[in-house]
């Protein structure tokens, strides 16, 4: 299959390109498209055969459900049986945006979308290209991240092509995504609203609207997670990522020690640094691959850069990637969750 590259402007996407992509979706094909979080791989959510193609193209396990994307709030009604408590408030505050709600699934939504669960995850993205595509296609679009299963999520059109060229019909390429990590997934079908996956909307923001919001136990411990996708190794680069946690000074010292050790073993070592330590690493270690993820206190900057940085480490064929850690507040919770999932080892100093 030849994957068609459709380059569009991020703010005012050309209608003829949206039409072309929407036609592919309506015919049961696959189109990757940008959202404010990461690129998604979309199919008509109500077409079982089309949705099945997503799993094949990505190599995604069948028990990992997809998120259904809509363009208008009212479209949620056709996907669900009823609106649970708290749903309206969250939709009003955070849609369109990086918040996915797990809701009771209407039988109209094919089982394959939800991996057989009685629930369905729904999101309304804010990216003009995503919104435009859904509107023109005039169907809800099921879309997981547009990467090969297990690899870092794509935040540019070229990331998508690297993973999926030849396996999907088209890519709408509108350049880099804003947020850079996936949406927050909140389950509203239990006793209390529960965050199954931290993401672009923070726990602090959710609590400001709903008061009590739980965090799935699996996110802190080793209990098995309720968002089926969260149990898989994710976001993993080819090299072994080692995440170093602790006080900033201790982290920098440990990274220097590990850097020397692995270099002596003849391995190619990359360093993911906070802005504060870039100069020091450059002076002391001078690694061939040194990427700044931004200031330690600004996790949203690091979140935006993370997947691109992991992919750059792969491109540079790093055997080992040493990464600093960030504060777990705000988007830092999602950032650290992704770093931990990408990491082969975690070291606390």
C-alpha distances out from residue 93 to 88, 253, 311, Å? 9, 43, 33
Chain position carrying tokens 């270099």: 263
User: Residue 219 in contact with residue 299, Cβ under 8 Å?
Assistant: no
Nearer to ligand AMP, 137 or 142 (CB): 142
Q: Map the footprint of Mg ion across residues 283-312, applying CB under 5 A.
A: none
Assess 334 for contact with ligand AMP (CB under 6 A): no
Least CB distance to ligand AMP at residue 157 (A): 17
SS3 276: helix
For ligand AMP (CB under 6 A), the number of binding residues is 19
Least CB distance to ligand AMP at residue 230 (A): 5
Least CB distance to ligand AMP at residue 349 (A): 30
Nearer to ligand AMP, 25 or 271 (CB): 25
Rounded CA gap, 302 and 292, in Å? 8
- Partner from ligand AMP, Mg ion, none contacting 120, C-beta within 5 to 8 A by type: ligand AMP
Assess 104 for contact with ligand AMP (CB under 6 A): no
Nearer to ligand AMP, 23 or 178 (CB): 178
Assess 159 for contact with ligand AMP (CB under 6 A): no
Among 8, 91, 121, 203, binds ligand AMP (CB under 6 A): 121
C-alpha distances out from residue 273 to 120, 268, 287, Å? 38, 16, 11
Q: Map the footprint of ligand AMP across residues 54-83, applying CB under 6 A.
A: 64-65, 67
Rounded CA gap, 293 and 274, in Å? 5
Q: Which of 78, 71, 74 is nearest to 125 (CA)?
A: 71
Assess 190 for contact with ligand AMP (CB under 6 A): no
Assess 155 for contact with Mg ion (CB under 5 A): no
User: Residue 153 in contact with residue 145, Cβ under 8 Å?
Assistant: yes
Assess 145 for contact with Mg ion (CB under 5 A): yes
> Angle at Cα 186 formed by Cα 144 and Cα 307, nearest 5°?
45
Q: Map the footprint of ligand AMP across residues 133-152, applying CB under 6 A.
A: 144-145
| Nearest residue to the partner ligand AMP, using Cβ | 229
Q: Which of 199, 62, 66, 63 is nearest to 142 (CA)?
A: 66
**What is the full DSSP assignment across 170-216?**
EEEE-S--SS-SPPEEEE-SSSS-EEEE--SS-HHHHHHHHS--EE-
Least CB distance to ligand AMP at residue 32 (A): 12
Among 35, 44, 114, 304, binds ligand AMP (CB under 6 A): 114
Neighbours of 288 (CB within 10 A): 10
Nearer to ligand AMP, 65 or 97 (CB): 65
Q: Chain centroid to CA 52: how far?
A: 20
Applying CB under 6 A, which residues contact ligand AMP? 64-65, 67, 102, 114, 117, 119-121, 144-145, 182, 185, 196-197, 227-230
């Amino acid at each position: 299959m030849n994957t068609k590259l459709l380059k569009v402007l991020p703010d005012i996407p050309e209608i003829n390109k949206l039409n072309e992509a929407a036609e592919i979706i309506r015919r049961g094909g696959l189109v990757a498209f940008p959202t404010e979080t990461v690129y998604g791989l979309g199919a008509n959510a109500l077409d079982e055969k089309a949705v099945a193609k997503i799993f094949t193209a990505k190599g995604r396990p069948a028990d990992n459900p997809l998120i259904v994307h809509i363009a208008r709030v009212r479209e949620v009604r056709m996907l669900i049986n009823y609106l649970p408590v708290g749903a309206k408030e969250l939709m009003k505050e955070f849609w369109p945006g990086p918040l996915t709600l797990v809701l009771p699934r209407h039988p109209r939504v094919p089982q394959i979308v939800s991996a057989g669960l009685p629930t369905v995850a729904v999101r309304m993205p804010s990216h003009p290209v995503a919104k435009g595509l859904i509107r023109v296609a005039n169907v809800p679009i099921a879309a997981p991240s547009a990467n090969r299963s297990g690899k870092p999520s794509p935040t540019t059109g070229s990331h998508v092509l690297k993973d999926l060229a030849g396996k999907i019909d088209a890519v709408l390429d509108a350049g880099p995504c804003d947020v850079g990590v996936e949406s927050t997934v909140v389950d509203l079908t239990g006793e209390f609203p529960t965050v199954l996956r931290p993401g672009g909307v923070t726990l602090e923001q959710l609590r400001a609207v709903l008061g009590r919001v739980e965090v799935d136990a699996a996110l802190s411990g080793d209990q098995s997670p309720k968002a089926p996708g969260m149990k898989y190794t994710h976001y993993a680069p080819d090299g072994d990522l080692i995440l170093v946690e602790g006080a900033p000074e201790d982290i920098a010292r440990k990274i220097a020690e590990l850097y020397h050790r692995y270099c002596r073993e003849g391995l190619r070592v990359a360093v993911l640094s906070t802005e504060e330590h870039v100069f020091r690493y450059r002076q002391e270690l001078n690694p061939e691959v040194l990427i700044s993820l931004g200031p330690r206190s600004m996790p949203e900057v690091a979140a935006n850069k993370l997947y691109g940085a992991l992919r750059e480490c792969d491109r540079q064929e790093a055997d080992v990637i040493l990464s600093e850690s960030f504060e777990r507040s705000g988007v830092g919770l999602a950032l650290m969750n992704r770093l931990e999932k990408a990491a082969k080892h975690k070291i606390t100093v």
